[in-house]
């Protein structure tokens, strides 16, 4: 059983209230306080499967777990994937195309003392998987223009997109496009922004940026771009070590901040405990705090009006009432 990390109390900002009107002029309830759904959920990337359940990667054990969003019951969906060998990495994110799951695996190659393929694995059964794309080989043959010391990169997020997938590489500072035939190509490259989480709507790609160490708030941004773009447009900034971005109901947009980075710690270190935040993009490119005191969150999913936050310690926290009707605000930041 993993040790439970108790989230700090969230006081007035998260108490239920009907004193605010939504965009339609009706009373709107503010989000309720986080409640623990389960304490054994892996602790890395996540997605919502075709059955409506949460699927969470567990890099330490090389597996994908299925979590019932109503009961918190955890079962093993897929195992036998490469495990983390340096404390981070291994199976780091998961996505579905139709009813087939694909898992992003990182930091398992020979450059970090491993012997497995860095890339995307297709889940064939509960115990078997097949390499779809060798991202590590692509990285070795096409090094980035920014500084790096891990030749195969540090991939972070996997997102279904049109005829394949998008993958962020937070170390090589770029987004890759991977097709279902295994072809890998660089979609867009950045300076030292540390790209992390991804979300899409149509052709538009939303991306979270953690910013370089020490991950200052002014460097934590959500940006958007499309295939063929020469750069990204800022949607919002001001989050500490942003690790994910997610669309909610009414086109509301959320970001997940892991929190305050410990001064002097090396790259890849998690934030200080209980300093994470669930943020919502407000008007004029600002962030509004939805939930505070989260313990080193790593991934965010929204089902209906409820947010599910996966943490570094292997927990999933549920926050109800997050979306509401935010169409007007969305239109404000979409025009930026």
Q: What integer best gives the mean pLDDT of the chain?
A: 89
CB 133 within 8 A of CB 183: yes
- Cα angle value 187/189/190 (rounded, 5°): 150
Tokens standing for residue 41:
């959920």
How far is it, in rounded angstroms, from Cα 83 to Cα 87?
Answer: 9
Residue 279 phi/psi, 5-degree rounding, is -120, 150
pLDDT at position 29 is: 55
How far is it, in rounded angstroms, from Cα 22 to Cα 321?
Answer: 12
How far is it, in rounded angstroms, from Cα 59 to Cα 52?
Answer: 22
How far is it, in rounded angstroms, from Cα 221 to Cα 219?
Answer: 6
Confidence label for 150 from pLDDT (cuts 50, 70 and 90):
very high
Rg (CA), the chain: 19
Any idea where the domains of the chain sit in the sequence? Answer: 12-32+197-336, 42-192
Please give the share of the chain, as a percent, with pLDDT higher than 70: 88
**Pairwise pLDDT comparison (283 vs 94), residue with the higher score:** 94
pLDDT at 324 exceeding the cut of 70:
no
Mean pLDDT of 184-195: 98
Dump pLDDT digits (tens) for 91-112.
999 999 999 999 999 999 999 9
pLDDT at position 283 is: 82
Confidence label for 323 from pLDDT (cuts 50, 70 and 90):
confident
pLDDT at position 309 is: 98
Q: How many CB atoms lie within 10 A of CB 125?
A: 9
Mean pLDDT of 255-274: 94
Mean pLDDT of 50-74: 97
Closest CA to 13 of 29, 37, 2: 29
pLDDT at 6 exceeding the cut of 60:
no
**Pairwise pLDDT comparison (3 vs 219), residue with the higher score:** 219
pLDDT at position 234 is: 97
CA dist 100 to 50, 122, 186, 190, Å? 9, 7, 24, 31
How far is it, in rounded angstroms, from Cα 159 to Cα 320?
Answer: 24
**Does CATH number 2.130.10.10 belong to domain 42-192?**
yes
């Amino acid at each position: 059983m993993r040790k439970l990390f108790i989230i700090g109390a969230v006081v007035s900002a998260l108490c239920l209230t009907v004193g605010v009107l939504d965009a339609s002029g009706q009373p709107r309830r503010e989000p309720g306080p986080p409640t623990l759904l389960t304490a054994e959920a892996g602790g890395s990337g996540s997605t919502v499967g075709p059955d409506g359940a949460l699927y969470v990667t567990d890099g330490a054990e090389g597996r994908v777990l299925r979590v019932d969003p109503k009961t918190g019951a955890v079962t093993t969906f897929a195992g036998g994937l490469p495990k983390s060998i340096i404390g981070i990495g291994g199976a780091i994110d998961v996505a579905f195309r139709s009813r087939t799951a694909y898992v992003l695996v990182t930091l398992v190659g020979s450059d970090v003392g491993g012997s497995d393929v860095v890339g995307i694995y297709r889940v064939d059964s509960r115990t078997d998987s097949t390499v779809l794309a060798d991202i590590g080989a692509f990285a070795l043959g096409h090094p980035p223009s920014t500084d790096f010391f891990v030749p195969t990169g540090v991939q972070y997020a996997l997102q279904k997109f049109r005829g394949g997938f998008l993958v962020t590489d937070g170390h090589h500072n770029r987004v890759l496009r991977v097709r279902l035939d295994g072809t890998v190509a660089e979609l867009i490259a950045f300076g030292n922004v540390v790209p992390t989480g991804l979300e899409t709507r149509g052709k538009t790609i939303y991306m979270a940026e953690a910013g370089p160490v020490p991950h200052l708030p002014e460097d934590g941004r959500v940006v958007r771009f499309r295939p063929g773009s020469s750069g990204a447009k800022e949607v919002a900034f001001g989050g500490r070590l942003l690790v994910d971005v997610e669309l909610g109901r009414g086109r509301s947009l959320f970001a997940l901040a892991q929190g305050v980075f410990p001064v002097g710690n090396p790259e890849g270190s998690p934030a200080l405990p209980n300093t994470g935040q669930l943020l919502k993009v407000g008007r004029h490119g600002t962030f509004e705090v939805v939930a505070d005191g989260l313990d080193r969150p790593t991934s965010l999913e929204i089902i209906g009006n409820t947010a599910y936050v996966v943490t570094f310690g292997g927990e999933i926290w549920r926050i109800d009432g997050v979306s509401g009707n935010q169409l007007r605000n969305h239109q404000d930041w979409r025009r930026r």
